[in-house]
Amino acid sequence: MELNKIIKPENLVYKRTPLMTDANLSYCPGCGHGTVHRLIMEVVEEMGIQEDTIAIAPVGCSVLAYDFMDVDCAQAAHGRAPAVATGIKRLWPDKFVFTYQGDGDLAAIGTAETIHACNRGENITIFFVNNGIYGMTGGQMAPTTLEGMKSSTSPYGRNNETMGPPYKITELIAQLQGTYYVTRQAVHKPGPVRKAKKAIRKALEVQRDKKGISFIEFVSNCNSGWKMTPNDSNIWMEENMFPFYPMGDIKVDGELVKSP
Amino acid sequence: MAKAKGAIVVDIERCKGCQVCMVNCPTDTIGMAEEVNGKGYHFAYMKNPESCTGCTNCAVVCPDGVITVYRVKQN
What does the alpha-carbon distance between residue A53 and residue A124 come to, in Å, rounded to a whole number? Answer: 11
B46–chain A nearest CA distance, Å: 11
Confidence of residue A244 (pLDDT cuts 50, 70, 90): very high
A190 closest CB neighbour out of B16, B49, B57: B57
Confidence of residue A5 (pLDDT cuts 50, 70, 90): confident
The CA-atom distances, in angstroms, between A144 and each of A39, A160, A215 are: 24, 12, 17
Tell me the mean pLDDT in the region A60-83: 94
Please list every residue in chain B whose beta carbon sits closer than 8 Å to the beta carbon of residue A62.
none
What does the alpha-carbon distance between residue A178 and residue A216 come to, in Å, rounded to a whole number? Answer: 15
Ordered by start, the domain boundaries in chain B are: 3-74
pLDDT for A61 beyond 70: yes
pLDDT for B1 beyond 60: no
State residue B75's pLDDT score.
63
What does the alpha-carbon distance between residue A72 and residue A95 come to, in Å, rounded to a whole number? Answer: 11
For the residues of A128-149, what is the DSSP string, one character each? EEE-SSBTTTTSB--TTPPTT-
What is the H or E stretch that residue B43 is in? strand B42-46
- A8, B57: Cβ pair inside 8 Å? no
- B6, A13: Cβ pair inside 8 Å? yes
- pLDDT tens, position by position, B17-63: 999 999 999 999 999 999 999 999 999 999 999 999 999 999 999 99
State residue A1's pLDDT score.
72
What does the alpha-carbon distance between residue A38 and residue A43 come to, in Å, rounded to a whole number? Answer: 9
A84–chain B nearest CA distance, Å: 28
Tell me the mean pLDDT in the region A180-209: 96
Domains assigned to chain A: 30-256 (3.40.50.970)
Q: Is residue A151 within 8 Å of residue A139, measured between CB atoms?
A: yes
- CA A135, chain centre distance (Å): 14
Please list every residue in chain B whose beta carbon sits closer than 8 Å to the beta carbon of residue A35.
60-63
- Nearest-CA neighbor of A132 among A200, A225, A62? A225
Evaluate the CA torsion angle A165, A171, A172, A173 in order and state its sign.
Answer: positive
- A229, B19: Cβ pair inside 8 Å? yes
Q: Minimal Cα distance from B6: which residue of A? A: A6
Confidence of residue A260 (pLDDT cuts 50, 70, 90): low
- B74, A1: Cβ pair inside 8 Å? yes
What does the alpha-carbon distance between residue A202 and residue A221 come to, in Å, rounded to a whole number? Answer: 24
What percent of chain A is predicted at pLDDT more than 90? Answer: 93
Please list every residue in chain B whose beta carbon sits closer than 8 Å to the beta carbon of residue A230.
18-20
DSSP SS3 for A27:
coil
B33–chain A nearest CA distance, Å: 16
State residue A4's pLDDT score.
84
- A35, B63: Cβ pair inside 8 Å? yes
pLDDT for B4 beyond 90: no
CATH class of B3-74: alpha beta
State residue A242's pLDDT score.
96
Q: Which spans in A48-131 are helix H?
A: 65-68, 81-91, 103, 111-120
B59–chain A nearest CA distance, Å: 7
The CA-atom distances, in angstroms, between A241 and each of A78, A202, B25, B49 are: 25, 24, 24, 35
> What is the overall mean pLDDT for chain A?
94
- pLDDT tens, position by position, A105-160: 999 999 999 999 999 999 999 999 999 999 999 999 999 999 999 999 999 999 99
What does the alpha-carbon distance between residue A200 and residue A46 come to, in Å, rounded to a whole number? Answer: 11
Please list every residue in chain A whose beta carbon sits closer than 8 Å to the beta carbon of residue B61.
35, 187-190, 193
Q: What pTM was estimated for this model as a whole?
A: 0.95
